[in-house]
Amino acid sequence: MKLAVIGATGMVGEVMLQVLSERHFPFSELIPAASERSVGKKVVCGGNSYEVVGLKKAVSMKPDIALFSAGGATSLEWAPKFAEVGTVVIDNSSAWRMDPSKKLIIPEINADKLTSADKIIANPNCSTIQMLLALAPLQEHFGIERIIVSTYQSITGTGVKAVQQLKNEYKEENGEMAYPYPIHRNAIPHCDVFMDNGYTKEEMKLVNETHKILNDATIGVSATAIRIPVLGGHSESINVQLKKDFELDAIRKLLNESPGLIVQDNPETNTYPMPIYAAGKDEVFVGRIRKDESQNKTLNLWVVADNLRKGAATNTIQIAEYLLQENLI
């Protein structure tokens, strides 16, 4: 099993190497690859050191699987080149997500759609993954009419530059700005670029990816994405209108029994999900479960996950694990 990690020196790439080690992913050869400026650098996985190679060399080594986290432009250019030599690409960028010929996969929800013919597989946006892990069981048992979601997203979703901006501002030092405004002691209602309809790309990803993954374009989805000065973990306030009425005990039982979810919901003990506790974990945490008293058949949830792990690296690796488990490679 030859495994390539494309973008191995980036924030998500580093987490991928960590998760591969933790989950004892069964590779016999690891090929870390990145842009030319990173060639020759060393990365560590499972206590072993590996030298970073360029993308052209990585293709020539014909890996069985390539985990991509190097941005959309890199993926559009290089994923087909890997696929041409027989590599299965699992891509963490937005490049292939809405391509109708590519599968958009959250393993706990729709991995059974994968076949041996799939050579480029898309990993959803981090905010979509955690939201749908909580909502897919509700869709299956009750049906979903409408979703209103506000996200409170970690600066790690932007990358190293944003982390450095926060650190500089915390120390009252000048430096390069990842955002148009200070992020320290602030909340910026602006994730990704604005589109013609007034929504940002991040907000529209939640709409479009939900429709594709749940295979239901009739679900109403309205999103507002906010960047907050948190170093790890996205949080989401979700209001979901169901097609059938429900009892809260049934909702809690259903979520408790759903793979990849942990329910943390006890107001008496101040138990609820927070990014400080989700950091470094692979599960999605759900709490503040309550009926919307202003609207029939409607539920409020608070959903938190580590955006670099389940929102990116872990989900990608779980797809690869499924392919191996089902002998699709």
Give me the active site residues, please.
Answer: 126, 234
| Strand pairing class (65-68; 2-6) | parallel
Strand-pairing partners, residue 259, are: none
Contact (Cβ atoms closer than 8 angstroms) between residue 250 and residue 277: no
| Strand pairing class (48-51; 234-242) | unpaired
First to last CA, the chain: 10
CA atoms within 13 Å, Cβ hemisphere of 319: 33
Return the residue matching tokens 């990585």. Answer: 58
- In residues, how long is the chain? 329
Phi then psi for residue 133, to 5 deg, are -60, -35
Question: What is the residue-wise DSSP string for 189-220?
Answer: S--S-B-TTS-BHHHHHHHHHHHHHTT-TTSE
Q: Which secondary-structure segment (H or E) carries 100?
A: none
- Report the 10 Å Cβ neighbour count for 311: 28
| Strand pairing class (48-51; 42-45) | antiparallel
What's the chain's Rg over C-alpha atoms? 20
